[in-house]
Amino acid sequence: GESVGLHLPTLSVQEGDNSIINCAYSNSASDYFIWYKQESGKGPQFIIDIRSNMDKRQGQRVTVLLNKTVKHLSLQIAATQPGDSAVYFCAENANYGQNFVFGPGTRLSVLP
Amino acid sequence: NAGVTQTPKFQVLKTGQSMTLQCAQDMNHEYMSWYRQDPGMGLRLIHYSVGAGITDQGEVPNGYNVSRSTTEDFPLRLLSAAPSQTSVYFCASSYGPKVGYTFGSGTRLTVV
């Protein structure tokens, strides 16, 4: 289930199950979104992106869904593996250039 | 390709000291940015650059300076360190606007 920890919301899933990580973004003018994965002690790593002219985009084992009506983004990870344990961030961009606004992150914990 | 290289990885400063965090990329990326990461707050943009000789402020620029004399390098200077600047600092680069960043591995800075 999903719970709010001291600093980050945490999602715990069983290995092999599907994971859904949610993100509410703030700016209705945002037209480009990215999901990043951050493992402990490392920098964020690009997973997948989506532009506002799309509702869904699929990658390898990951799918991003965008609902502009309610300003909501989700990341679905199929058949979650132990290596998926990390903190996941969504980032939105509204301006021309690289002014990305990052969400606070969600910690995904994969249980054996 | 080394990607984005940040030095040092760890640093302890005394209040009032100055220092420069180094960032270099070997991908010929035009866009470079500095972020700080604090618990529960995601990543916040400090300064960014869209090319050599061009820099601009992000969300939290106070207490930091940047310059971009070459495409490869984007150093971040702390003018007079304060305990509030204790954080993990990430440098990132991309080849253009509205594309994913490549992040460095971070510099963990403690100001005492």
Interface test with B, best of A98, A100, A101, A107 (most B CBs within 10 A): A98
Task: Supply the pLDDT for residue A26.
Answer: 84
Q: Do A44 and B90 touch (CB under 8 A)?
A: yes
Separation of alpha carbons A33 and A102, rounded Å: 10
pLDDT tens figures, B71-100: 999 999 999 999 999 999 999 999 988 889
CB pairs under 8 A between A and B: 65
Instruction: Quote the tokens at residue A28.
Output: 């209705």
Q: Does the pLDDT at position A95 exceed 90?
A: no
pLDDT tens figures, B2-36: 899 999 999 999 999 999 999 999 999 999 999 99
Report the pLDDT averaged over residues A10-22. 96
Task: Supply the pLDDT for residue B108.
Answer: 97
Q: How far is B35 from chain A (nearest CA, A)?
A: 10
Q: Do B101 and A8 touch (CB under 8 A)?
A: no
Task: Indicate the SS3 state at residue A83.
Answer: helix
Of residues B27, B4, B20, the one with CA closest to residue B105: B4
Task: Supply the pLDDT for residue A5.
Answer: 34
Q: What is the three-state SS of chain B?
A: CCCEEEECCEEEECCCCCEEEEEEECCCCCEEEEEEECCCCCEEEEEEEEECCEEEECCCCCCEEECCCCCCECCEEECCCCHHHCEEEEEEEECCCCCCCEECCCEEEEEC
Task: Supply the pLDDT for residue A96.
Answer: 62
What residues of chain B lie within 8 A of the CB of A101, using their CB? 45, 59
pLDDT tens figures, A37-85: 999 999 999 999 999 999 999 999 999 999 999 999 999 999 999 999 9
Of residues B79, B32, B39, B83, the one with CA closest to residue B58: B32
**Chain A residues with a Cβ under 8 Å from any Cβ in chain B:** 6-8, 31-32, 34, 36, 41-46, 49, 51, 89, 91, 93, 96-105
Burial of A106 (0-12, 13-18, 19+ CB in 10 A): buried
Task: Supply the pLDDT for residue A2.
Answer: 36
Mean pLDDT (chain A, rounded): 90
Q: Does the pLDDT at position A1 exceed 50?
A: no
Task: Supply the pLDDT for residue B42.
Answer: 83
